[in-house]
Amino acid sequence: MEKMNLKELAERMGLELKTQNIPIEGEVKTGYASDLLSDVLANSIEGDLWVTRQTHLNIVAIAVMRDLAGILLVNGAQPDPDTLEKAVEKMVPIFRTPLPTFEVVGRLYQLGISGER
């Protein structure tokens, strides 16, 4: 499976980049989809791309705590202003798509992003 970084993935899938001026060339191999913060805390792994519709500041905290590759907001969800600010400060890339979770995860999977733990 070809290696893909976040930037390439975003371009392939037409994801909207919300955080500006922070590196997005990190490699991404796996993903996790959940809207329960406790669940992500318990079951995500380092380097996961996190797919969620939660938009509040704590998603950045979780991403930092778990060393996630970035956050993909679905259903057109917009990050709260302070979420965006903190994400840039902590260098957590946030993307956005109008697609719902199921569809977006299916497409990510087809591009080689695995959910395996």
Partner 1 sequence: MLELSLHILDIVQNSLAAQASQVEIRIREDLGKDLLTLEVEDNGRGMSPELTRRVTDPFYTSRTTREVGLGLSLLKLAAERCGGRLEVRSQEGKGTKISATFGLDHFDRAPLGDMGETLAVLICGNPGVNFLYEHGVDGQTYRLATREMREILGPVSLDEPSVHDFIRQDVQQGLKKIKAASFPKIMEVLR
**Residue 9 or 59 having the CB closest to partner 1:** 59
Q: Does 53 bind partner 1 (CB under 8 A)?
A: yes
DSSP-assigned letters across all residues of 38-49 = HHHHHH--TTEE
DSSP lists the bridge partners of residue 72 as: 51, 95
Structure tokens at 112: 């080689």
Span 67-106, contacts to partner 1 by CB under 8 A: 86, 90
Here's the x/- map for partner 1, 18-37, by CB under 8 A: it reads as ------------------xx
Among 57, 88, 91, 111, binds partner 1 (CB under 8 A): 57
Tally of helices (H runs) and strands (E runs) in the chain = 5, 5
Q: What count of other Cβ atoms lies within 10 Å of the Cβ of residue 54?
A: 19
Q: Report the nearest approach of partner 1 to the CB of residue 2 (Å).
A: 33
Determine the Cα angle at 55 with ends 61 and 9, to 5°: 85
Among 13, 17, 45, 61, binds partner 1 (CB under 8 A): 61
- The contact set with partner 1 (CB under 8 A) reads 36-38, 41, 53-58, 60-62, 64-65, 86, 90
